[in-house]
Each structure stands twice: as structure tokens, then as C-alpha cells.
Structure 1
Amino acid sequence: MDTLSPQHIQELIQAAVENASATLTAQFNVELDKLRTQNTEFRAQIAALQSAAASRKPRPVLPDPPLLTGPAEFDVWIPLLQGKLRVDGDAIGSDEAKFIYVYGRLDWKVQQIVRPQLSHTQFNEWDYTQVTSALSRIYNDPNKLVRASRKLRAMKMKDDDSIRTFLTNWEKYSWEAGTTVQPDILRIQDLRAAISNKLQGKVDDRELLPETYDDFVTLLLRLGEGYGNYMAGSHGNTSNKPGSTYTSTANTSTPMDISQVRIDSINVKPSDSKLKIASIWTPKGQMAVSSTHKERRERLEQGNCERCGGPGHMASTCSLLPYREYVKFEVDSETDDFSD
């Protein structure tokens, strides 16, 4: 057998390498073509899913506004309707669908009022504002602003009025009269002149007053919760009168020691027909009396307020402040606050 020369061996190796490379390249191209085909199919599937999702009608988010039955509900009904169309307009559909939807949210008596005006309109325009505009012309009160301004100027809180009830009405007429856009200093002046003389006196005793309207309202709520029916409605008789559940011997116009305050000892039971809640009067308002962990747990088990023991509410909505022990109360200090 002839011996292969080195050159011949090198040629054989090169031929084998080229053959293997050609085979691997062919296999690679076959696999690459398969991956390209799969990629094209996946893209087509994604496009189909996106098209189906875009064509699918979204679900409504907000409930339908109630039927409009007359002018008394119009001011409340119109923002509900506008919010519904703004949020769920795509779910309702085309302009034609929106037009029919708005007309369908009218009581049949209101539909009879609007229908003659709409009969002169080209219905192929399908503009739902035709309905709302017609209702605005009928139901809008041009004297609403003037009437709200008069009511706001005439408001005057009495010493025995609830501060929360008064502020609720004050805010309502303020929005209707458009005074909420005024600077805070003017709003504070108007509100300060409208509160009761008793509450004005407590405000005047403050060395520093809030500069923002929201903070001033918070101050009034803190100073005024000892007055009116709010406290009485939540905890029975809690005013400083005969038969009250607390007695204070300290002068609240000056700093006082906690030892100067005396409270009546009572038992709070859900079965009491005439329930009285013991409390301590402080410059910050009325505070619950001290109680043990066992007492608070028993109150919770009986379904009563953990803080005061009264029925019908929980500690989170109790109008009595939580019990705290203090050396003295700084009445005139702006930094005076309850803390652990």
C-alpha cells in the first residue's frame, strides 16, 4: 500500500472540512427558514388578536344616571349624565347611540316637554347636546346665583347650633354663590362674621389664626364641637348643665391642672334606658374618661364604642376625644395638641 504524502493528507482534510461545513450550513438554513415561518405566523396571530381587541366594545364603568323627572333634579342629574358620557362614551357607542341614550334617561313627562323642540332639529345629526341644551333652557334658574348669595349673606349661626350642620349649609351656598373662587382671606372674614358670638369669642382668644380657609374650618370644628346638637345627638347630655355627666371646676381661660377636673363615676350598659356618657371637658373639646384594657374589650364584645362605651357607633366615629393624662392644658397655645 502506497504511503500518502503530507500534501495529499492535507487535501483530504480540507475536503472533509468543506463537506462538513456545507452540510452544517444547509441544516442551519433549513432551521432558520422554519423559525422565520413561525415568526411570520406569530406576527399574524398577534395582529389578529389586536384587531379583535380593538373592535370589541368596552364595558361601561359607571352606573346609569337616574331618570330626570323635573327641574328639582336637573342640577344633580346633568353632571351625572355628562360624567357618564365622558367615561363610558365608547361603551355607549356612536353619536346616534349617545343621542338615544340621553333621551332614554328622561322620564316620559320630560320627554313630552323636549320632543316638540327636537322635532324641528335634523335628527340625522345625532347630537345629544340638542337634548341637554333644550333642558337647560327650560330648567336652568337664572336667579340661582342671586338667591344663593342672599342666603349666604343672611346666614348667622346661633350659640346652640351644630357647627357641622352650619358649615354644611355654608359650603353649599358658597358653591352656589360662586364665592369659593375668592381669596382665602376674604372667605375667612365672611365665615368668621357668620359664626356664633360664642364661637367668635373662642376664635378671638387665639393668638394666631390659620391663614388658609381649610385650616380655619378645621379650627372651627375643633373649637365648636362642644356646642350644638352634634355632641348631644352622639352622647346624650354632654353640655355643662345640671344633670351633666361631667363637672369642671377649672377656669378654661387659663392653664389648668388635670387634678382640677372632676368627673362622675357611672356604669355604661347597653340596656340602660337613659344612657349617660362620662366625659371630661378640656379646651380641645370633651374627652373620654380613663378605662382599662379589660373594660374596652368588654365594650367591643357587647358591640359598643370602645372609647366611651356608648351604643350605635365605634371609636373611629366617637365625638369624644381619646383619654390622655396631662399636667396642664395650654388654652392659648397654637401648638397645644393631644399626643401620646
Structure 2
Amino acid sequence: MADLNMSEEPQGSTGLTGNLTTNDINDLTSLVNAIKNSTPETQKFLKELMEGRKPNLTTAKDQSQSSTELTQKDEVIRQNATFEKWNGEPLTWTPHYYLLKSQCRVYKPLLVTDEAVCMKIYESIPEPQRQRIRGYWIKCGEKEKYDWKEMLDVCHSEYFDQVGAQKAESKLLAMRQGESQLFRKFLQEWELQLEYAGGRDWPESIKINKLRSALSEKIQDKYSVLDLPINDYQGWFIRKGEKQNTQYATRSGALQSEYLTSPALSNSPAPGTTDHDGDVVMSGMKIDLHSLASLVAKLNTSNKNKKNEAPKSRPPAPWLTESEIAELISKGLCLRCKKNGHISRYCKKFGPPKRPVELGKRVTFRKNRAWRYGESRVKAEISEQEYKNFLVKLHGKPVIINAIINSTLVPALVDLGCTIYSVFSDHIAKQLDLPRIKVPPKELKLAKDSDTETKIVVDEICWAYINLDGKKNSICGYIIEGLAHGLILGEPWMRLNDVVYRARDRTLYIGEERHNIRIQKETKST
């Protein structure tokens, strides 16, 4: 009776409990709740079992391994989240600023905290420029409050080149498109200056007005035809601005505009635009711009070819005196062929005249006595008077000053080319009875009276007290026989005593006190 009654009951929750105990019902309820609260993977697995499909089994080990791999991958990405370093140039700050913005948005989920993002921004600034935001960085550390957007604004206000922006804006106002310059090439230069001037955030109308004032007259006359937007800067570069703003032929003759080559402006005349002879009526905007531009391009090409042609060689015109030139000008004749009807620059018979060489005043070295003096290598033409003036300036006087050694006046040669501190003549050392010291032999190459021997060996030095315009100090130098001067002061002496030589005044200044020492007018030797 129980089975019969259960079969006759409607299919409901109560009809299934005929042979189930309370524990079975509780177990089923718990199973249903567990399925509802299970993960999507578990529900998918049970659904595949109910549909009779073979489920894709994944063990807990595989799941933990995949989660570990994801965690390790995130950690690697987090460690490699390095920001591009700025090179410190003011002109490159603006693109670097927008690059930092993008990097902050991309790496923020990996870096998790604003402090980590701010640290990356701080590391991307080079050390010399980092000092300008160091105060803000210390302030954030003291308050333990970091905001990467605020830090980017602070960096932009510190590193944006205001002076360079003003110069770029002035240049932006002064830029003008050439009559034969393509709009795209001009736009690249114009937008580069706009970027330097910080005009990215300017209102659209201001950028368009500045651009319109910089365009050529050919494009300005076609604003009404092109129907360019007033408040949409990007609209100038989509079809109308980028393609139709080049409504002229380039220097090569190729048309760069779809507006001219469109079917509406083809070479075939439209119906109703021809007269009774079949000629096209040229009026208003119905002029065939394509034919006109092609004609202009052909003329430019022909003129360019004419300019590139090599000019025909013409003999030089005869040289005229001033009286002859004045007479021809009064008669209105050409100064070259002495005929009327043209000016001298357009003369087809003669070229520009050449000044004749006056043999009496200008002679070559082959006809001059200088050729016999061993100067045969000079090939340039020079007058005899110029050669004489050159010989006067060819030789100078040595830099000789008066030095007092042991109460004796000794002429001393100051030689910047001498690499030794000082050199004494053997005659002066004997005359003044200077103390001598033996030193290891050393080979020197100095100026001597004899031309046959250029290298000598010295093995003695001597000491002396020298007085130069009241500046007293001790001096030590080698002793050499046969010197043309009693004492030679070399470059080390000039450097250690801070010697300044003024060639125009022929004066030496020694030391910080600047002792004024006049150089002898004549060479004297002891």
C-alpha cells in the first residue's frame, strides 16, 4: 500500500520520501547545498558526469603547481618593473612624463602600493636633477603618505622647461609654410614646436588659429571650399586637412592632392559649361585646376632644366679704362660688345672682363732675385714691394732682460722653447766664480755657436743668487761651454715664477707682484 500510494502522488518533494529516512533526506539536502556552494570547476565536473562525458581530471597537485607558477611569474614581473630612465635633457621631459604616466598605470597592480610606484619614479630621475624633488620625497617619507599622481605633477612642474617653452612658442608664431612646401612636412615641424611649447593641452580653437596663421596663402584662400572644422584640431588631419591642404603641384610636378584628382574635377568638361565652339568656359571655381597645376609644373621643370644647363663659354670682354666706361654709359652702349639694345650682363658675345696683369708691378719669383736665394718653392705671385715688407717682418729680436748676479749685470735670454730650468755659460761661471757641483753626465740638445754639433754632454751645475727688478731668489742651472748668452732662463723657470710675457709691449711680468721688466732693444751677449 505504501508503494502504491507513493506512485499515485504527484512528483514533488514529498513523493520521493516514501522509502527515505530522515537521515537520507538530510544527506541529500547537504549534498545539494554543497553542490551549490562548490567552485565552478566542481560544478563543471559534475555536469560532465551527468551528461555522460569524460571529465577533464585535474589533481590538487596540478592546481597548486599552476598557482605557484602564476605567483612566481607575478614576482618576476614585479622585480622587472623598472621605469625608463630620463636623460636629464629639458626637451625630452614632456615625452618622458607621459611615458611615466603609462608605466605607473601598467605596473600599479604589480607594485601594489603607491609607495613602490613613487620609488620607481624617483629612481628614473638622474642624480643631478633629482635634487629638485628631494625635498618633496623627504616630506612624503616623514608623513608616510605617497601618491604617484601627485608626485608626477610635482615632477612636471619642476622639470618642464618654461624658458624653452617660451622660445618654442615664439618660434611657433613666427613659422610660415613655404609656397612649395608640403603640408605634411610643415606639420611635422609645427607640431614639434607645439610639443616643446607645451601646447598639447591648449584648447582646440587656439591651436587651429595658430596653425591657420602659419599656412601659405594658397591654402588660406581655400578655407571655404575645404570646409575645415573650427573647434576640431584632429579634423584637420583626417582626409580634408591632410590630403586636400596640398592643392598644388610639387617641384617634381607630381600632384599630392586627391581633391584635384577626384572625378568631380576631371579633365572632361561638365554638361552646359561649353560654348558654341566647344571651348570650356573658364569662370569661377569651374576652372580646370588640374590642367593649370600641370602647366605650372611643366614651366617650373623647364626653367629648372634651363638653370641646370651649363652656360656657354664666352670670351672675356676687353678691359676698359674709367674714361672709356663713362663714355659708353653716356651713349647707352654695352660695356662688353659696345653695342646698344642690351645691358652688359646680358651680352651674348663676351663674358665678364678680366683684369690684366701689370708686369711692371707684379712679378713672379722666377723673375725676382729671391729665386736665387733658395726660395724656389714659393709659387704664388707677389709684388717686389710686398716681398720687401715681408723680409722686414721675417726676423724678430730675442727676449733678453738684465739680471744681476753677484752685483754683476748679466744679459739673460728668456726662452720658452727651452725645457731646462736655466743654463749658465762657462765664461760667466768662471768670471763670477760661481760654486760648481758635479752631477751624473746627461746628454742635452741646446743652441750652440757651432752648427756642426747639436748634442752635448753636461756634468756640472752651479748655484747663484739672481736679482730681477728687485725680485731676488736662488737659481741653479747646467754649465755649458760656448753659449751665445751668459744665462738662459727656460720654460720651467717661467712656469714656477708665474711669468707673463706681453709681446706687444715687449714686457715681462713676474710673480703676483707683477714686476715690470723691460726687454732690451738690442741683443747683447757677455
What's the TM-score once normalised by structure 1's chain length? 0.49
Bigger Rg over Cα: 2
In the superposition, the TM-score normalised over structure 2's length comes to 0.34
More strand by share: 2
